[in-house]
């Protein structure tokens, strides 16, 4: 049996200075932002220490090592064979998406997205000077999935781009190869570019399969992927992601990015990402085992302590999309914070479909989940 990754006590975690630990007042259990509480993977720690010890903190020079490392990782994890030269470093996934939107759209164009979805999806479009067209996910008893008939109807209105979350944040859906193949056919038929945010791909949990969109037939000429080690290896503050292409057309689009884009990637981020992709596999396996255990623990805690809340356990990510509508409040996060001192992400940040929902981060230790759900249970009992 693989050991779980340890997590420090809350009192020690609270000494961290990242946004997760500074948003709320002292004493709040923060389970909102997508940042885990585990120690860095040893190969990443070693690479960063070596760079700092050598005073190697200058401008980033990620190529070709980043592409080589990611190509090896993608082949080993997903059987995806890609050209290392097709990998271009960028500051982060959001910057990559915005730059791609600037290339593939003109002012006033429509860009389709499928809420509930990662809140910056709503911000990237106006940053690029375009309009957002919402095509909500389909929800039934089996959970969330892409609404392909609705997507086709939206494509008939000629959006320039469809921005895909794969796996989907916040609902944790790992879109199937059949679904993605159908999406690719629609994009080809209606001449829509797919920009696939695949930042959570390494976090596909046991029992599910991640399909890189560019690994599928027909994707090369209609799709581009944006990837990063930042979510799986907890490197968000170091600023390094990559845009991946598989055709001359898409490579030319990336080549048209502003010349200074390459200098905006964090050098330590590139060093950490290369180490993670090259040598972080064993640690990542341990992480996935740990997150699977937290997913199981959370299911039990919700059943036993918080029966008014419901969910579809995620296939990927360490994020739980909780349906709190039985509480009768479109903004349950306020109750969670004010009464239980537990910080979660408001569902409405993910679009109108998020009313009455919250997103909770379970990328932490069992003691933290136990404390948070005990507080919530006490608070909800007091208000019932």
For the segment(s) 10-41+281-383, the CATH number from 3.40.50.300, 3.90.1150.10, 3.30.460.20, 3.40.630.10 is: 3.90.1150.10
Give the side-chain half-sphere CA count within 13 A for 331. 4
pLDDT value of position 16: 96
Q: Can you give the pLDDT of all 384 residues of the chain as single tens digits?
A: 479 999 999 999 999 999 999 999 999 999 999 999 999 999 999 999 999 999 999 999 998 999 999 999 999 999 999 999 999 999 999 999 999 999 999 999 999 999 999 999 999 999 999 999 999 999 999 999 999 999 999 999 999 999 999 999 999 999 999 999 999 999 999 999 999 999 999 999 999 999 999 999 999 999 999 999 999 999 999 999 999 999 999 999 999 999 888 889 999 999 999 999 999 999 999 999 999 999 999 999 999 999 999 999 999 999 999 999 999 988 999 999 999 999 999 999 999 999 999 999 999 999 999 999 999 999 998 776
Q: Can you give the three-state secondary structure of 247-273, one letter per residue?
A: CHHHHHHHHCCCHHHHHHCCHHHHHHH
10 Å Cβ neighbour count for 18?
A: 13
Domain regions of the chain by residue span: 10-41+281-383, 44-279
User: Is residue 233 reached through a cis peptide bond, with omega within 30 degrees of 0 on the bond before it?
Assistant: no
What fold is seen in the domain 44-279? 3.40.640
Instruction: For residue 166, give the DSSP letter.
Output: S
């Amino acid at each position: 049996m693989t050991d779980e990754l340890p997590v420090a006590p809350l009192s020690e975690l609270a000494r961290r200075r990242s946004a997760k630990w500074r948003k709320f007042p002292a004493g709040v259990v923060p389970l909102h932002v997508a940042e885990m509480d585990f120690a860095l993977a040893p190969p990443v720690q070693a690479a960063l220490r070596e760079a700092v010890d050598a005073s190697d903190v200058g401008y980033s020079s990620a190529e070709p090592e980043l592409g080589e490392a990611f190509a090896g990782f993608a082949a080993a994890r997903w059987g995806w064979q890609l050209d290392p030269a097709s990998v271009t470093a960028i500051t982060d996934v959001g910057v990559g998406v915005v730059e791609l939107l600037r290339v593939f759209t003109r002012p006033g164009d429509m860009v389709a997205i499928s809420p509930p979805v990662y809140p910056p999806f709503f911000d990237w479009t106006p940053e690029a000077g375009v309009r957002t067209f919402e095509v909500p996910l389909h929800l039934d008893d089996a959970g969330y999935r892409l609404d392909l008939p609705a997507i086709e109807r939206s494509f008939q209105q000629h959006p320039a781009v469809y921005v895909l979350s794969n796996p989907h944040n916040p609902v944790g859906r790992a879109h199937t190869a059949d679904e993605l193949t159908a999406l690719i056919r629609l994009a080809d038929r209606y001449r829509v570019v797919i920009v696939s945010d695949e930042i959570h791909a390494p976090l596909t949990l046991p029992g599910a399969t991640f399909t890189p969109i560019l690994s599928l037939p027909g994707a090369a000429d209609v799709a581009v992927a944006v990837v990063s080690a930042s979510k799986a290896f907890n490197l968000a503050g170091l600023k390094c992601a990559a845009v991946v292409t598989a055709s001359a057309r898409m490579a030319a689009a990336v080549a048209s990015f502003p010349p200074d884009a390459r200098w905006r990637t964090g050098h330590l981020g590139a060093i950490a990402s290369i180490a993670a992709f090259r040598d972080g596999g064993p640690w990542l396996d341990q992480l996935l085992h740990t997150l699977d255990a937290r997913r199981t623990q959370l299911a039990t805690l919700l059943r036993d302590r918080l029966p008014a809340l419901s969910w579809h356990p995620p296939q990927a990510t360490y994020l739980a999309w909780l349906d709190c509508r039985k509480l009768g409040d479109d903004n349950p996060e306020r109750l969670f914070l004010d009464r239980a001192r537990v910080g979660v992400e408001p569902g409405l940040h993910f679009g109108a479909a998020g009313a009455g929902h919250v997103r909770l981060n379970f990328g932490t230790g069992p003691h933290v989940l136990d404390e948070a759900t005990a507080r919530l249970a006490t608070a909800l009992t007091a208000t019932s």
